[in-house]
A and B are shown apart, each in its own frame.
Chain A
């Protein structure tokens, strides 16, 4: 991965503590495991990642190589904090279950802010139009009412009791079904989806979108999967997930403005947008000003 091409703008630098003091993904682990240095940009700052001989991540500022910044490896990614890490990275318990397939589907750069990408991930109503024939199909376009709450302990946003009619929800699907979803937003720029799997009625597949904010209006997306799937090859799991994400990409890149407006009057929400409505209010409450247009 190169950063030579990214035009760096000093105004891309983040001074917003609500974002600066959090962990952000900067590289898939597979990109640094090969022993190579990985250049990238986080919050307008160029950084270099590598694993040291002990296998620990080592991340330095490109313009100031003497400075090491806090870094950890989890969920298929190297995570970095450019400020003071005030809390641990959120947990995805399923990632520790031995029978799960853990797959980083590969990064894609997207010319959009992280909150726009998160909001799209929380959205079901676009399935019949953007993921036609896979995650939805006309005329089954209804978004039934679902529940949204902010967990009082963890302060994660949850959308529960979500359901949508899907012709082919996963690589393991052969027919259409009403698919159940849970959405969880544990971090302003990261979102996790738990969804029905045809393989096991008691458990759910976990699909996450980790957004690396390159600048306020540009991300590198890290799709992360934690699946109950013994059958498909990694190549076909990745192809499925990248297909879905690449279908969203031109929508995201055609959203104006690129940063997410937090004033509820700036766009026109409907009942189906309950998760997004709560997410926008939650971002305001957290004091997020990066990647958004504050209300």
Chain B
């Protein structure tokens, strides 16, 4: 039995829900009152995760925290073909890790802007937006050339990886931080491609591809 300690509006929790759906895994979601209750900072939650953040995944007796760590665990444990985390191919594995780090970098830009606008966090909004646009320019250029070179995903190869899955949430939600995607047409097309994954799931703020 898999349990996800979850918050509906968290992009990091969404990453885990996306992969659980891709791997066709059943799970139980436990709502953590992240906002406004700050339950993740409470004593009860800290017994589960002393770092006091979400998501936390519990698989039978195994407790693991941090979205990317959870994703690597799930991919190794349940993805038989090792497509999401391609351990059998050094180049693709390295590139996957590179884009997962890129997704971490968007936490201080795209995600930060969203937290300021949505939840009133005390962060530097101008810096977050400027950094967000720089990030999106890099992403748009990579994806635009990918289209010319026959590469649909962030990492070479026919299948998407955890690179796409981890970069997607902050980017698709960027406009909630008032970082307009108008200037990034290749990014918008890639968002459409991700939304066409079989078993793709939405979160509030994310529309499905087509009428869903």
**Chain A residues close to B by CB (< 8 Å):** 1-2, 4-7, 28, 30-31, 40, 104-109, 111, 132, 138, 220, 233-236, 238-239, 242-247, 249-250, 253
Interface of chain B, helix or strand or loop or mixed?
loop
**Does B205 contact A246, Cβ atoms closer than 8 Å?**
yes
Residue of A whose beta carbon sits closest to that of B30: A235
Cβ-defined partner of A235 (8 Å) among B32, B124, B175, B178: B32
Cβ-defined partner of A239 (8 Å) among B31, B119, B123, B124: B31
B117 CB-CB contact with A under 8 Å: yes
**Does B36 contact A106, Cβ atoms closer than 8 Å?**
yes
**Does A111 contact B117, Cβ atoms closer than 8 Å?**
yes
**Does A250 contact B31, Cβ atoms closer than 8 Å?**
no
For the complex, give the distance between the alpha carbons of A281 and B62 in Å.
Answer: 59
Most-contacted residue by chain A among B121, B176, B211 (CB, 10 A):
B176
Cβ-defined partner of A1 (8 Å) among B120, B176, B212: B120
**Does B36 contact A246, Cβ atoms closer than 8 Å?**
no
**Does B31 contact A235, Cβ atoms closer than 8 Å?**
yes
**Which 6 A-B residue pairs are closest in the complex by CB-CB distance?**
A246-B204, A2-B122, A5-B125, A106-B36, A1-B120, A235-B33
**Chain B residues close to A by CB (< 8 Å):** 7-9, 31-33, 35-37, 39, 116-125, 175-176, 178, 204-205, 207, 211-212
Cβ-defined partner of B31 (8 Å) among A104, A109, A236: A236
Q: Which residues of A contact B32 (CB under 8 A)?
A: 235
For the complex, give the distance between the alpha carbons of A243 and B203 in Å.
Answer: 8
Residue of B whose beta carbon sits closest to that of A130: B207
Q: Which residues of B contact A105 (CB under 8 A)?
A: 36
For the complex, give the distance between the alpha carbons of A6 and B37 in Å.
Answer: 23
**Does A243 contact B39, Cβ atoms closer than 8 Å?**
no
Cβ-defined partner of B176 (8 Å) among A31, A104, A250: A250
**Does A30 contact B119, Cβ atoms closer than 8 Å?**
no
**Does B33 contact A2, Cβ atoms closer than 8 Å?**
no
Tell me how many residue pairs across A and B have CB atoms closer than 8 Å. Answer: 82
**Does B8 contact A235, Cβ atoms closer than 8 Å?**
no
Most-contacted residue by chain A among B123, B178, B204 (CB, 10 A):
B204
19 contacts between A and B (CB under 8 A): A2-B120, A4-B122, A5-B117, A104-B36, A107-B36, A109-B119, A138-B211, A233-B31, A234-B37, A235-B32, A235-B33, A236-B31, A238-B31, A239-B31, A242-B204, A244-B204, A246-B205, A250-B205, A253-B175
Given contacts A239-B7, A253-B176, contact A220 B205 (CB under 8 A): no
**Does A132 contact B212, Cβ atoms closer than 8 Å?**
yes
Report the minimum CB–CB distance from A266 to chain B (whole Å).
Answer: 24
Q: Which residues of B contact A5 (CB under 8 A)?
A: 116-117, 122-125
**Does B204 contact A247, Cβ atoms closer than 8 Å?**
yes
Q: Which residues of A contact B35 (CB under 8 A)?
A: 106, 242
For the complex, give the distance between the alpha carbons of A242 and B175 in Å.
Answer: 18
Report the minimum CB–CB distance from A114 to chain B (whole Å).
Answer: 16
Residue of A whose beta carbon sits closest to that of B32: A235
Q: Which residues of A contact B8 (CB under 8 A)?
A: 239, 242-243, 246
**Does B205 contact A249, Cβ atoms closer than 8 Å?**
yes
Cβ-defined partner of B205 (8 Å) among A40, A233, A247: A247
**Does A109 contact B117, Cβ atoms closer than 8 Å?**
yes
Residue of A whose beta carbon sits closest to that of B36: A106
**Does B176 contact A249, Cβ atoms closer than 8 Å?**
yes
**Does A111 contact B178, Cβ atoms closer than 8 Å?**
yes
Given contacts A5-B125, A253-B175, contact A243 B118 (CB under 8 A): no
**Does A220 contact B120, Cβ atoms closer than 8 Å?**
yes
Report the minimum CB–CB distance from A26 to chain B (whole Å).
Answer: 12
Known A132-B212, A246-B205; 14 more pairs at CB < 8 Å: A2-B120, A5-B117, A109-B117, A220-B120, A235-B31, A235-B39, A236-B31, A238-B36, A242-B8, A242-B9, A243-B204, A244-B204, A246-B204, A249-B205
